[in-house]
Amino acid sequence: MKLLLVTGFLSFLGLSAAFPRRPSCSSVSINVTAEAGNIVFEDLPDVNNATSVIEFLASSFDAVRTQHNRRQINGTFTIKATHCRPLIASPNSLSLQLLVHGITYDRAMWSGFGFPQYDWQAYATSLGYHTLAINRLGHGIESPHPDPFAVVQGPLEVEIIHSLIHTAREGRSTLGDFDKILYVGHSYGSSLGNMLAQKHPLDVDAFILTGFSGDLGTSASALSAYGSAAMVSSRFKGLPLGYLTVVNESDRTASFYGGSFDPSFAARDYDREDTVTVGELLSPGLQPVETDYRGNVLVMTGDLDVLFCPTGPDTCADALRETESLFPNANFSSIVIPNTGHCLTLHQSAPLVMKTAHTWLHGLQH
């Protein structure tokens, strides 16, 4: 296992002050068929009462992890995504980066919400990669919003991602033909990647898991920051009350930011936040799992990440080192990003994060 402590100035890695030019991107809708055994919740709350929904979440958060009743959920699901094409001809053009966002975000986080210094898509395509930033099931205002208790859960989301990957590998989409699939996740998207590696260990050639470790510090008390999205913002009018979001800007900033970041950008982040479902918070996919994955894994987490380095910056390296136990047979590396909170691609260290990740990818080819 390689543990890299990233310190010093961005110039250490030869970062340019100039940002990559805007990529050529298009919005796509991909229909995939998937089936999974989702958790069956006992004694559901009054789904038309926001207070009952939040009380159910808090009372169930710890107990549901041992619940084993399952129901098969299947169907064809429409996934909204942004496909960005390479800006240069490169051997990397045979690789697709699948970008999977975290809780209360959607695919737009990978564009940095239009700010070039946070734009992962622009950085990757400038090196010749294709990127596909997806809206996970039930995410994004423009996406369908299935039942937030029974349907939008981790097990089904993993199977949808599995189907997406097979569609891309087999050339059955309009995206192109790819030899390699590179999974880039953030937070809950990283947790789903961990679960995908357990269930389908041959799907992905390399995982980059940001805002992640094997030490998830979230407890039932942390859920007090969430409320039914339809009651928080008019943007979510009409959504079922099991779709939640962060109620207060201060709570969101405290959870997702730390160290060196732009407060005005964090405020903008709050203004366009997305949702998370009760089903996602209570089903498999949130908690880390051990895998038999034998490929390549890079975990990148900020030292001030209060969710995945909950005991503080001095022990964050230890948390990432211990995360190797989830991938005992993989080529595993981890990197602590200094002076950075949970959403590390949205901090002032974002150029360092992107450079470091792609340097690691380049190293896999040699």
Work out the pLDDT band at 170, boundaries 50, 70, 90: confident
Question: At a CB cut-off of 8 Å and minimum separation 6, what does 5 contact?
Answer: 317, 335, 336, 338
* Domain extent for 228: 2-364
Task: Let me know the angle formed at the C-alpha of 78 by 256 and 140, rounded to the nearest 5 degrees.
Answer: 30
User: Six-digit token pair at 109?
Assistant: 């986080």
pLDDT of residue 303: 98
Average pLDDT over the chain, rounded to an integer? 92
Backbone angles phi, psi at 103, to 5 degrees: -65, 140
The total number of structural domains in the chain stands at 1
CATH number for 69: 3.40.50.1820
Name the percent of the chain lying above pLDDT 70.
92
Given a cut of 60, whether residue 11 has pLDDT beyond it is: no
CA torsion angle 183 189 192 196 (round to 10): -10
- 146-149: long-range contacts at Cβ-Cβ below 8 A with a sequence spacing of 24 or more? 146/77, 147/240, 147/242, 147/279, 148/240, 148/242, 148/243, 148/277, 148/278, 148/279, 149/41, 149/44, 149/47, 149/242, 149/277, 149/278, 149/279
pLDDT of residue 366: 67
Work out the pLDDT band at 239, boundaries 50, 70, 90: very high
What secondary structure, in 3-state letters, does the chain show?
CEEEECCCCHHHHCCCCCCCCCCEEEEEEEEEEEEEEEECCCCCCCCCCHHHHHHHHHHHCCHHHHCCCEEEEEEEEEEEEEEEECCCCCHHHHEEEEEECCCCCCHHHHHHHHCHHHCHHHHHHHCCCEEEEECCCCCCCCCCCCCCCCCCCHHHHHHHHHHHHHHHHCCCCCCCCCCEEEEEEECHHHHHHHHHHHHCCCCCCEEEEECCCCCCCCCHHHHHHEEEHHHHCHHHCCCCCCEEEECCHHHHHHHHCCECCCHHHHHHHHHCCCCEEHHHHHCCCCCCCCCCCCCEEEEEEECCCCCCCCCCHHHHHHHHHHHHHHCCCCEEEEEEECCECCCHHHCCCHHHHHHHHHHHHHHHCC
Given a cut of 70, whether residue 13 has pLDDT beyond it is: no
Work out the pLDDT band at 174, boundaries 50, 70, 90: confident
pLDDT of residue 218: 64
Given a cut of 80, whether residue 1 has pLDDT beyond it is: no
Name the percent of the chain lying above pLDDT 90.
83
Task: Give residue-wise pLDDT tens across range 86-123.
Answer: 999 999 999 999 999 999 999 999 999 999 999 999 99
Work out the pLDDT band at 5, boundaries 50, 70, 90: very low
Q: Which amino acid is at 83?
A: H
pLDDT of residue 216: 84
Given a cut of 50, whether residue 67 has pLDDT beyond it is: yes
pLDDT of residue 65: 56
Q: Which of 351, 337, 1, 361 is nearest to 182 (CA)?
A: 361
What's the average model confidence in pLDDT over 332-350? 98
The mean-pLDDT minimum among 15-24, 126-135, 350-359 falls in 15-24
Given a cut of 60, whether residue 146 has pLDDT beyond it is: yes
pTM score, whole prediction: 0.94
Work out the pLDDT band at 173, boundaries 50, 70, 90: confident
**179 burial type by CB count under 10 A (0-12 exposed, 13-18 middle, 19+ buried):** exposed
